[in-house]
Structure 1
Amino acid sequence: MPTTRISARVSAISESATLAVDAKAKALKAAGRPVIGFGAGEPDFPTPSYIVEAAQRAAADPKMHKYTPAAGLPELRSAIAAKTLRDSGYAVTADQVLVTNGGKQAVYQTFAALLDEGDEALLPAPYWTTYPEAIALAGGVTVTVPTDESTGYLASVEQLDAAVTDRTKLLVFVSPSNPTGAVYPPEQVKAIGEWAAAKGIWVVTDEIYEHLIYGDAKFSSIPVQAPEIADRTVVLNGVAKTYAMTGWRVGWMIGPKDVIKAATNLQSHATSNVANVSQVAALAAVSGDLSAVAEMRAAFDRRRKTIVRLLNDIPGVVCPEPLGAFYAYPSVKGVLGKEVAGKRPQTSSELASIILDEAEVAVVPGEAFGTDGYFRMSYALGDADLEEGVTRIAKLLADAK
């Protein structure tokens, strides 16, 4: 008879490092310490009022108090299809859309629908912390493809090709990237899509930061750039980042009808429908214009320039310019091994701990994203806190030797 209390598969899951850092920072602030947190990946803006008002009306509507289809409100699925064509040029039908409880459920259900035990998933690193955990839960095996600041954290076709084996089932492709802010240029998106099609592997592409693009960078969707991969592509997206709706928990997956049907069957047993009030809020979001998004993007762009400048002024720190999302991913390898506050940190995790204790600034170490020697720092926080936080780090590291 089994003696373990917790299954091996679930026991192997790590806590979300980004949420853990954010929770620790908030707990310290609640205890009276002036901690500034760069951990959480959520906009510091309220959800736009027209979205909130739509939700308020829905809460008072008796129709929204009952079960609705597991795959999502029909009008929302249609609106997501229309929004996808508007924003990325990708034409899909409503029955290719599954509405999920946030982007994370879309991630998990996609891997669960595609991966069998032992199937390999190519995952460029640095990567968002949830991907390898969701791959493992689905029985898959993560094959990391490392990138670094020398290439702007972009994986090449040659690197991807070298990682392929006879067990490779899919590629996880993310642009703009969490955690690095890297954005693949359209010609590289096209090349990777054509390569994947030629190899006969799937592409799971996370487009949740599609509207947070800066400077001359351009968002491009892989099934648009390489139409031949469309029948083996699942697009992940949601309202969380674009519309400052992280707490509303509405995401979606778009894919071939057989994959969406299989994932819908899974969701019908796992959660049933997404909360109707949140779905109506999402309907207002994706059906509305993008003016609120433009205002947030302008603020993020200003903060992006500030954080890159301040970080690159710190000896031993190198921060490439992020072109998307709202994260900077500085290398701190030039500080490791030096004396900081009487200690000699050997890893970015150790350095992050010292910074939290001594400077009262919370950052997420690179180990959480598959690359030691880096920090992920969200610049989705107020301008004053951003400058104060990086200034504290600079003062602490000024005497590192």
Structure 2
Amino acid sequence: MTKLSDRVLSMQESVTLQAAARAKSLKAQGRDILELTLGEPDFVTPRHIQQEAMAAIENGSASFYTVASGLPALKEAISRYYETYYGYSVDQNDVVVATGAKFILYAFFMAVINAGDEVLIPTPYWVSYADQVEMAGGKPVFVEARQEQHFKVTVDQLEQARTQQTKVLLLNSPSNPTGMIYTSDELTAIGNWAVEHDILILADDIYGRLVYNGAIFTPISSLSEAIRQQTIVVNGVSKTYAMTGWRVGWATGQTDVIAAMSKIISQTTSNLTTVSQYATIEALTGDQEPIEAMRATFEERLNTIYPLLNEVKGFEVVKPEGAFYLFPEVSEAMRLKGFDDVTVFTNDILEQTGVALVTGAGFGAPSHLRLSYATDMETLKEAVRRLREYMEEM
């Protein structure tokens, strides 16, 4: 048998993809499965974006390589996007585009992390952050943001976790999996702390346009020139524009970091698929009304499902402000059902009810589970009904 690398042997499989695969397997066996696992909008990419992609194919523009870091026209569209939603412009040399925001994150860590460098990661956290840091030879340092503090870390907590090896602070707001949003004041305090200690901020803003019920998303990079110079912003079109299959992500920030990421990309994937670049130009610069319609639909689902899920015995939910996940605390539910492991509990829910959820263990939250409401209302209501019945069967 081939001896695999230590790197891959120590790597964990994504719990979200693992849960989705298990749900699809059971569905293929004829089971009635309600999939609430993946963070994937259930909408088709808006028609005007599709049409622009088809035009690029038909006129031949999509047939060729581009610059590895992205089409100049796409970088210009991203700069205009920042002017509209961030309040500042970005030079083209400070933009790099790649095959999804996940790969952008990978390229960032590979570009800036040396062996032993530490990355502060507030928990709960998106499942791939820690493994990507470790792949780059770094050390993830987890800072617990408890439910009673609305899953947000404080400067005091960050300072307690800081060492001489701390190089990066990772911030995801709105958060996957909690949907919580840091306020402008909270971010200003964190940003100034990072500047004071020369800690690079990696801002994962992928859910920045998906906020609800009057909540406000504040980009940390917009708060001051000093904080902006300390921040690399990661974003993409997957969530906001229902374009998960197009695999488009980008980063903006310090010229030297962006150039280093571009070098990584040039030696791994080369350019992002050309047709996806043309589609993204249209997404960012074209009609935004379909985007608002999708956001409003997510908001309606949240406001409908949140109170219903909170009525499930043993489930305690903080109402999220953004993204499209609910992240209930289920320690009492586990106790009532006789479980002490949230992954085993989540698997039992799937086997007994057909409701596919994601264990919180992979997010650094062993007493929670994640439910995605990026699916239709009928499915969501039926899923909560099954969960209620499951918890009432003692």
**How many residue pairs get matched?**
394
Please list the CA deviations of residues 111-169 of structure 1 after superposition, one character each: whole Å capped at 9, or x if unmatched. Answer: 11111101000000000001001111111100000112101111111111111011100
Comparing 48-57 with 305-314, greater Cα deviation is found at: 305-314
Return the alpha-carbon distance in structure 2 between the equivalents of residues 309 and 174 of structure 1: 25
Residue of 370, 383, 389 corresponding to 1:389: 383
Comparing 161-170 with 222-231, greater Cα deviation is found at: 222-231
1:162-181 residue pairs with structure 2 within 5 A? 162-181=160-179
Change (3 A) 1:13 1:61: farther
8 Å CA contact 2:314, 2:336 repeated in 1: no
The 3-state SS of whatever aligns with 1:337 is helix
1:6-25 residue pairs with structure 2 within 5 A? 6-25=4-23
1:267-306 residue pairs with structure 2 within 5 A? 267-306=265-304
- Residue in 1 aligned with 2:357? 363
TM-score, structure 1 normalization? 0.96
8 Å CA contact 2:104, 2:250 repeated in 1: yes
- Residue in 2 aligned with 1:255? 253
8 Å CA contact 1:16, 1:129 repeated in 2: yes
The 3-state SS of whatever aligns with 2:168 is strand
- Residue in 2 aligned with 1:51? 49
Comparing 300-309 with 25-34, greater Cα deviation is found at: 25-34
Return the alpha-carbon distance in structure 1 between the equivalents of residues 147 and 302 of structure 2: 17
Return the alpha-carbon distance in structure 1 between the equivalents of residues 161 and 64 of structure 2: 48
The 3-state SS of whatever aligns with 1:270 is coil
Comparing 60-69 with 370-379, greater Cα deviation is found at: 60-69
Please list the CA deviations of residues 31-75 of structure 1 after superposition, one character each: whole Å capped at 9, or x if unmatched. Answer: 211100110001000000000001111112333211110010110
The 3-state SS of whatever aligns with 2:18 is helix
1:186-335 residue pairs with structure 2 within 5 A? 186-335=184-333
The 3-state SS of whatever aligns with 2:3 is coil
8 Å CA contact 1:207, 1:237 repeated in 2: yes
The CA deviation at 1:4 is: 6.1
Please list the CA deviations of residues 340-364 of structure 1 after superposition, one character each: whole Å capped at 9, or x if unmatched. Answer: xxxx211211110110000010100
TM-score, structure 2 normalization? 0.98
Amino acid of the structure 2 residue aligned with 1:334 = E
Amino acid of the structure 2 residue aligned with 1:363 = L
Residue of 114, 117, 135 corresponding to 2:115: 117
The 3-state SS of whatever aligns with 1:144 is strand
Return the alpha-carbon distance in structure 2 between the equivalents of residues 346 and 325 of structure 1: 29
Please list the CA deviations of residues 323-354 of structure 1 after superposition, one character each: whole Å capped at 9, or x if unmatched. Answer: 00000110001112323xxxx21121111011
Return the alpha-carbon distance in structure 2 between the equivalents of residues 290 and 386 of structure 1: 26
The 3-state SS of whatever aligns with 2:267 is helix
Question: Structure 1 residue 85 and structure 2 residue 83: aligned?
Answer: yes
Question: Structure 1 residue 354 and structure 2 residue 348: aligned?
Answer: yes
Return the alpha-carbon distance in structure 2 between the equivalents of residues 92 and 200 of structure 1: 22
Amino acid of the structure 2 residue aligned with 1:383 = M
8 Å CA contact 2:119, 2:169 repeated in 1: yes
The 3-state SS of whatever aligns with 2:336 is coil
Return the alpha-carbon distance in structure 2 between the equivalents of residues 307 and 178 of structure 1: 18
- Residue in 2 aligned with 1:398? 392
Return the alpha-carbon distance in structure 1 between the equivalents of residues 261 and 389 of structure 2: 50
Structure 1: gaps of 5 or more residues: none
- Give the percent of matched residue pairs that are identical in Structure 1 and Structure 2: 40
Comparing 5-14 with 41-50, greater Cα deviation is found at: 5-14
The CA deviation at 1:205 is: 0.3
Return the alpha-carbon distance in structure 1 between the equivalents of residues 220 and 89 of structure 2: 13
Change (3 A) 1:124 1:138: same
Comparing 218-227 with 293-302, greater Cα deviation is found at: 218-227
The 3-state SS of whatever aligns with 1:99 is strand
Return the alpha-carbon distance in structure 1 between the equivalents of residues 370 and 223 of structure 2: 29
The 3-state SS of whatever aligns with 1:334 is helix
Structure 2: gaps of 5 or more residues: none
8 Å CA contact 1:194, 1:226 repeated in 2: no
8 Å CA contact 2:23, 2:33 repeated in 1: yes
- Residue in 1 aligned with 2:29? 31
Return the alpha-carbon distance in structure 2 between the equivalents of residues 232 and 185 of structure 1: 19
Amino acid of the structure 1 residue aligned with 2:377 = D
Comparing 257-266 with 83-92, greater Cα deviation is found at: 83-92
Return the alpha-carbon distance in structure 2 between the equivalents of residues 203 and 4 of structure 1: 39
The 3-state SS of whatever aligns with 1:272 is coil
